[in-house]
Amino acid sequence: MATIHYFDDTGEAYDASQCDDKIKDGDVLVGLDDQVVGFLFQAWPVAVTEGHGHFHTLKEDAGNLRSDDVVSGRPLVNYQESADAALNEYHRLEREGWTKPDVRPFTVAVYLQDRSYGGPEEGGWYYPSGEPADEYCDLTRGFKDGDEARAYAKHLNDTMGKTWNEGRRPTSSILSDGAYTAMARRGNPAAWPEVRPHYE
């Protein structure tokens, strides 16, 4: 899935696409002041909108890419998903206004927390892990402020935690099938840890 990057204008977007490692091939680029949306085609930002600003232009219908593009003569067919994502973002901006979306870096979600088997060393060892609980996804919220996020997580645990875990064994038990807990974390809800720990 293409990541969308927002910039004040296409000049800033073009420059960033050449030196920012966070921008990957196929990602969507938005120049807000120019009202231009495009995607990174290998090393070239190309516009899917009628205006193109500092981006290169497509000579094809962005909604129906064929074999090649005049910028480089290289195949475009594998970039249809990126072109579609850029077009969808353009239509959203046209409806809702050309501003950056509301950024909420903290999320609170209910996780099923458990202990995962790490390996046989010293008779076997375990590490804490968790994954978002789909059955409680309606309680997920985004927050700009970390303190507000942690307060909401505490509220959920204080008011609902016992109900969630009624009849469940604690995670310290070998018979446990996990326990539900609300957690405030950065980014979107996701399983953790991202990298499996190693025995040392």
Establish how many alpha carbons lie within 13 A of residue 161's alpha carbon, considering only the half-sphere containing its beta carbon: 14
Every domain of the chain and the residues it spans = 4-96, 106-186
- Taking the C-alpha atoms of residue 173 and residue 17, their distance in angstroms, rounded to an integer, is 50
Compute how many other C-beta atoms are within 10 angstroms of the C-beta atom of residue 42: 13
Quote the pLDDT of residue 75. 66
**Own/partner pairs, 15-20, CB within 8 angstroms, 24+ separation:** 17/43, 17/45, 18/43
Quote the pLDDT of residue 71. 47
Helix (H, G, I), strand (E, B) or coil at 7: strand
- Taking the C-alpha atoms of residue 33 and residue 7, their distance in angstroms, rounded to an integer, is 8
- Residue (of 50, 91, 55) closest to 71 by Cα position: 55
Quote the pLDDT of residue 77. 67
pLDDT along the chain (200 residues), means of 10: 89 95 93 94 91 86 58 66 90 88 84 92 89 93 91 97 94 90 91 84
Cβ neighbours of residue 33 under 8 Å, at least 6 residues apart?
Answer: 8, 9, 98
Sheet with 4-7, side-by-side order of all strands: 4-7, 28-31, 36-41, 44-47, 56-57
